Amino acid sequence: MTGSRRGDLFSPACPTRRLLDRLGTKWTSMAVKSLSDGGELRFTELRRRMPGVSQKMLSTTLQTLVADGLVARRVEDTVPPRVHYRLTELGASLEVPLSALREWAEQHMARIDDHRRRAGLG
Amino acid sequence: MTGSRRGDLFSPACPTRRLLDRLGTKWTSMAVKSLSDGGELRFTELRRRMPGVSQKMLSTTLQTLVADGLVARRVEDTVPPRVHYRLTELGASLEVPLSALREWAEQHMARIDDHRRRAGLG
DNA sequence: CTGGATCCTGGTCGATACTG
DNA sequence: CAGTATCGACCAGGATCCAG
């Protein structure tokens, strides 16, 4: 942090853009929400809470979140293995602004859809 | 709105997912931010504020935003034509949760990047 | 000046099959 | 149970040229 960085908002390294890029991937926000609601969950439990997700995509999504430090992965050394996922503090802190965006979406997306229908693009 | 819709959060029509899908497209959030900062702007003014955007992508992005009802388009009937864009009330209201997400990104993305580097995933 | 039309590339995502 | 490997479809997005 070198003081004011408003100019950075439009640099290729813009943190907002990179964050939205990730949240924009299909399953990321749903996984965060599921872990926020369910606490610590196993792989299959998580999968059940995310209708439509494939094993590969859930695995990839979780790997990204773990690498980002938003989700913690805990392996029980049993047979068969049990793997548990939960939000880290960082992940939980993201839930705050993210839930604000969710509220906005739930309140206003219907109007957006309506507008799009009239424009004939949606 | 038909009362509580928490279950909808994971339906294919989930409003949050669809909103993030749009905000996740490369230039959308930058355009919203630029219009929020600059007020009403012409196409080329907007383009200057968004380094790296191509004519096509700016055009496409603005069309989407206009169709969504987040941005208003005003054409001055001159030669050559001047086209002005500004946020609608709906678009301005989106700026509220969006700026909260920006703050989070600016405060925490560095830590995410650091975490990723250690994980060796980029 | 403000776009539209076209072509092309890379990455996201899904289906399927296989493994410890 | 919890992944990994591979293949292919699809589309966002960039380059370029053209038009009102």
Domain boundaries, chain A: 15-118
Residue A83 burial (10 A CB sphere; 0-12, 13-18, 19+): middle
pLDDT category at A5 given cuts 50, 70, 90 is very low
CB A50 under 7 Å to nucleic chain D: no
Q: Which chain B residue has its CA at the smallest distance from A52's CA? A: B12
DSSP H helical ranges for chain B: 15-23, 28-38, 43-48, 55-68, 89-119
Give the pTM: 0.89
Among all strands, which nt has the closest C1' to A81 (CA)? D1
Is residue A107 over pLDDT 60?
yes
Residue A102 burial (10 A CB sphere; 0-12, 13-18, 19+): buried
Residue A54 region, left (φ>0) first, then alpha (ψ -120 to 50), else beta? beta
pLDDT category at A48 given cuts 50, 70, 90 is very high
Comparing CA positions, the residue from A69, A75, A67, A43 lying closest to residue A57 is A43
Return the pLDDT at B122: 58
Residue entry with tokens 């004519």 = B55
Phi, psi of B82 (to 5 degrees): -115, 130
State pLDDT tens for residues B45-96: 999 999 999 999 999 999 999 999 999 999 999 999 999 999 999 999 999 9
Return the pLDDT at B119: 75
Return the pLDDT at B12: 52
Is residue A4 over pLDDT 50?
no
Pick A108 or B14 by higher pLDDT: A108
In CATH terms, the fold of domain B15-118 is Arc Repressor Mutant, subunit A (1.10.10)
β-pairing, A41-42 vs A82-87, is antiparallel
Query: In Å, how far from its chain's centre is CA B25?
Result: 8
Q: What is the mean pLDDT of residues B101-108?
A: 96
For a pLDDT cut of 70, what percent of chain B falls above it?
A: 87
Q: What is the mean pLDDT of residues A45-58?
A: 95
Helix B15-23 vs helix A28-38: angle between axes, to the nearest 10 degrees? 140
CB A62 under 7 Å to nucleic chain D: yes
Cβ–Cβ gap B104/A19 under 8 Å: yes
Return the pLDDT at A71: 98
Query: Could you say which of B52, B90, B104 has the minimum Cβ distance to residue A111?
Result: B90
Is residue A1 over pLDDT 90?
no
Return the pLDDT at B101: 97
